[in-house]
Amino acid sequence: MSINQSIKPYTLEEKEHLFLGGCDLVDLAKKYGTPLYVIDEATLRGICREYKKAFKDYKNIHMMYASKALCTSAITRILDEEGFGFDTVSAGEIYTVYKSGVDMSHVLFNGNNKSTSEINLAIDFKVGRFSVDNFYEAELLNKIASEKGVRVDILLRVTPGIECHTHDYIQTGQIDSKFGFDLSQVDDIVTLIKDNYKNLNLKGLHAHIGSQIFELKSYYDEVDILVKEIARINGKFGLNLDEMNIGGGLGVKYTDNDAPPSVNELAKAVTDAMEKYAVEIPTIYIEPGRSIVSTAGVTLYTVGSSKQVPNGRKYVAVDGGMADNPRPSMYQAEYFAEVANKVKSKDKESVTIAGRYCESGDILIENVELPIMKAGDVLCVYNTGAYNYSMASNYNRVEKPAMVLVNNSHSDIIVYRETLDNLISHDNIPDRLRKYD
Ligand SMILES: *Cc1c(COP(=O)(O)O)cnc(C)c1O
C-alpha cells in the first residue's frame, strides 16, 4: 500500500496511548499544549521517496512540491533534502523557500494574479520558471523583465478542459475556470510572445486539473491534451517547446470512503500516456502537494464541553476547529479521528466533534463512533498535514497552534504557538485614541 492510501501516518502505534514517530501523543499534548499540529518526519520522507522511486525510469522528471499545502521553513528544508523543487504562489512562499536555503532555480512561480512587487521579487530571487497564467501577466512580466534587462523562462498555464470528479471549489482544469489560458487562446499568446515579448523565453505548457483526484483517467487525458498541444505549437510556430508540467492533485485517504490511486499507479498512468506518442517531451514537472504532506500530519485537540441535544445528537467540543482546519466548513471535507488516551476503550458512542468557534458550521467530524469522551481527553484527527495550517486563520482572535516534528522518539517545535502579544503586534492605535502614552 502506498502511504497516500493510508488514513494514518505509517509510524503510528496503538499502545495504551497513540504513539507517532515514537512519541506518546498524550505527552506531546501536555508538553506543547493543544491544538497541536504534529508532523511525522518518517511518513513525509517516505512518501517523497515513493514518488521519486515511482518515476525513477523517467529520467528528466522534476518533482515540485506544491508549497501551498504546507509551507514552513523546516518543511521546505526536508523537501529540499529529498530532492524536490517548489511550486510557489506568493512572495511569502518564495521568501520562505529562499530563506530555508533552496536553490531558486528549482522554484516555479505560479498564480492567476501575481502582483508587480511579487514579480519583481521572484525575478530578483531568480526563480527558475514563471507559469504565465493570462494575457495581462504576460505583458506585465515582459515589461518588468525588460526593465531589469533579463529574459525569464516561462511555461504557459492552460486549461485543458478536463472535468475530474472532485469538489467544485477544488476543480481547476475544466473549461470555465479562473486559471490559465483557454486552449483557443494559446495561438494568440504564443504569437505575442514570439513577436513582441522578447524577454519571455517560452519553454512549455503547464496545467493542473484539480485536487483530491481519484480517477487516473483524468491524468491520461491531461497528458494526452498537453502532448498534442505542444506538438501542434511546435509545428505551427517552428518552436522547440520541450517542457510539460502536469500539476498535482493526487488524492489521499481521509476516511474509509476514499480510495485514491497509489503513487505507482499515477506514475504508470503518466508514463503510459507519454509512451503513446512518438513526440518527445524531455522534461516533465509534477507538483504534488496534498499527497506529500497530508498523511504525515495529525492534529491533537483537548476535549472540553459536551452537549446532548434532547432526542438529538451528542456534540463533543474541542479546543480548536475551523480556524486551524477550515476544510470541513469550506468543502464539507471529512476526517477520521481517534482518542489518543483511550486506544483500548470498548465503550463507544456516536458523536459529532464540534469546534470552539462562533459559527454553527464549525463542525470537524459528523457522527463518528468513538470511545466515550470526557473533558481532558486528547483527540487525534488524522490527515491534517495539508491545507490545515496553510489555511489557518485567527478567527475569533485565537492564536494559531504550534507545530512539532516527530522522529525516532524525538520532538522538535517547527512553528511556535502564537501568543496574545503576537495577535496585537500588528495593531496600531492612532494617537488621538490613545489612553496611555
Ligand atoms: C494546488 C496546486 C497543486 C497541488 O495540488 P494538490 O492537490 O495539493 O496536489 C499543484 N499545482 C498547482 C498549479 C496548484 O495550484
Q: How far, in Å, from the CA of 250 to the mean position of ligand 1? A: 9
Which residue out of 68, 79, 218, 331 has the highest number of ligand 1 atoms within 8 Å of its CB and is therefore the one to mutate?
Answer: 68
The Cα–Cα gap between 296 and 9 comes to 5
Catalytically annotated residue among 48, 71, 358, 380: 358
Contacting residues for 298 by C-beta, under 8 A, at least 6 apart: 9, 20, 25, 37, 38, 40, 380, 381, 382, 383, 384, 385
- Burial code (b: 16+ CB inside 10 Å, e: under 16) for 44-55 equals bbbbbebbbebb
The answer to whether 230 and 241 have CB atoms below 8 angstroms apart is yes
Bridge partners of residue 273, in order along the sequence = none
Q: How far, in Å, from the CA of 211 to the mean position of ligand 1? A: 6
The Cα–Cα gap between 420 and 42 comes to 33
The Cα–Cα gap between 211 and 69 comes to 11
Nearest to 69 by CA among 355, 274, 290: 290
Q: How far, in Å, from the CA of 66 to the mean position of ligand 1? A: 6
Other Cβ atoms within 10 Å of 150 Cβ, number: 13
Query: Which numbered atom of ligand 1 lies nearest the CA of 131?
Result: 13
pLDDT reported for residue 278: 61
pLDDT reported for residue 167: 56
Query: Which numbered atom of ligand 1 lies nearest the CA of 172?
Result: 15
Q: How far, in Å, from the CA of 192 to the mean position of ligand 1? A: 28
Q: How far, in Å, from the CA of 173 to the mean position of ligand 1? A: 11
Burial class (CB in 10 A: 0-12, 13-18, 19+), 117: exposed
Query: Which numbered atom of ligand 1 lies nearest the CA of 287?
Result: 10
Burial class (CB in 10 A: 0-12, 13-18, 19+), 66: buried
Q: How far, in Å, from the CA of 247 to the mean position of ligand 1? A: 6
Local structure of residue 303 (DSSP, 8 states): E
Nearest to 208 by CA among 256, 255, 158, 243: 158
Query: Which numbered atom of ligand 1 lies nearest the CA of 291?
Result: 9
Residue with CA closest to ligand 1 atom 15: 208
Q: How many residues does the chain have?
A: 437
Cα 69-154-83 angle, rounded to 5 deg: 45
Residues (pLDDT < 50) of the chain are none
Q: How far, in Å, from the CA of 246 to the mean position of ligand 1? A: 10
Query: Which numbered atom of ligand 1 lies nearest the CA of 69?
Result: 8
The answer to whether 295 and 306 have CB atoms below 8 angstroms apart is no
Residue with CA closest to ligand 1 atom 10: 248
The Cα–Cα gap between 327 and 385 comes to 12
Q: How far, in Å, from the CA of 67 to the mean position of ligand 1? A: 9
Q: How far, in Å, from the CA of 288 to the mean position of ligand 1? A: 6
* Pocket-forming residues, ligand 1, beta carbon under 6 Å: 66, 68-69, 87, 110, 208, 211, 247-250, 287-291
For the question of residue 358 being annotated catalytic, the response is: yes
pLDDT reported for residue 436: 75
Residue with CA closest to ligand 1 atom 11: 247
The Cα–Cα gap between 123 and 142 comes to 11
Domains along the sequence of the chain with CATH = 41-293 (3.20.20.10)
Which residue out of 114, 181, 211 has the highest number of ligand 1 atoms within 8 Å of its CB and is therefore the one to mutate?
Answer: 211
Task: For cell 481519484, name the residue.
Answer: 214
Phi and psi at 315, nearest 5°, equal -100, 135
The answer to whether 91 and 107 have CB atoms below 8 angstroms apart is no
Q: How many CA atoms lie within 13 A of 112 on its CB side?
A: 10
pLDDT reported for residue 165: 61
Which residue out of 226, 287, 327 has the highest number of ligand 1 atoms within 8 Å of its CB and is therefore the one to mutate?
Answer: 287
pLDDT reported for residue 435: 87
Query: Which numbered atom of ligand 1 lies nearest the CA of 212?
Result: 7
Query: Which numbered atom of ligand 1 lies nearest the CA of 89?
Result: 15
304 grid coordinates: 472540553
Chain-centroid distance, C-alpha 230:
27
